[in-house]
Amino acid sequence: MAVLEIRKYPDEVLKKKALPVDNIDKDLQRLIDNMIETMYAAPGIGLAAPQVGVSKRLIVIDVSTKEEKHPLIVLINPEIIEADGFIDSEEGCLSVPGYTSTIKRAGRVVVKGLDRNGKPVQIEGTGLFARALQHEIDHLDGVLFVDRMSSIKREFFKKRYLKKTSVSSQQSAVRSQ
């Protein structure tokens, strides 16, 4: 297994809709294992394939450190089929390091997809698990949590975040000379 590079905002792969998985083979199983290792190493509670530069509808989630009843899950071609209630909560993202914001999400979702062996599954999530499911499925549709902020907050974020990453890049370049 290997820890993969997590793509950071504003990488173009994060803005594109991922393609459906149509073949569950050894390469996909290796990708799943690498994504799980990458998520734990980050550390994070979820990871979508586009975050590691792969345009496939594949997510991994493990919120067991916060909600014991939800161990590691792998979902291929996940789709939200039911959502209700709303909860505002702080959210962050491995592709937008060091930044969080309050985001409104459904309080409960039902998601269908395939497990890593291709078996159809249907999962109900509430609380943090529901939030993680929605967040990772958004990645498959090219949507980041910052896209769900108000336009004013989003513009403030872009200016502040891009300025911060530009300064960091310049400092790294100076150090390497």
- The domains of the chain, with CATH numbers, are 12-171 (3.90.45.10)
Catalytic residue among 67, 68, 136, 155: 136
Partnered with residue 100 across adjacent β-strands are 92
Token pair, residue 34, equals 């690498």
Residue length of the chain: 177
- Res 173: pLDDT: 44
Tell me the C-alpha distance between 43 and 86, whole Å.
Answer: 27
Which of 132, 134, 136 has the alpha carbon at shortest distance from 65?
132
- What mean pLDDT, rounded, does the chain reach? 90
Q: Which of 17-31, 62-76, 109-123, 127-141 has the lowest mean pLDDT?
A: 62-76
Please compute the mean of the pLDDT values over residues 89-104 and round it to a whole number.
Answer: 92
The predicted pLDDT at position 159 comes to 82
To the query of whether residue 68 is one of the catalytic residues in this protein, the response is no
User: β-strands 58-61, 120-126: how paired?
Assistant: unpaired
Nearest-10 Cα torsion for 29, 35, 37, 41: 180
- What number is the average pLDDT over the span 13-18? 97
- For residue 1, give both structure tokens: 């297994």
Give mean pLDDT, residues 118-127. 96
Residue 168: CA count within 13 A, CB half-sphere: 8
Map tokens 């509670």 to a residue. 45
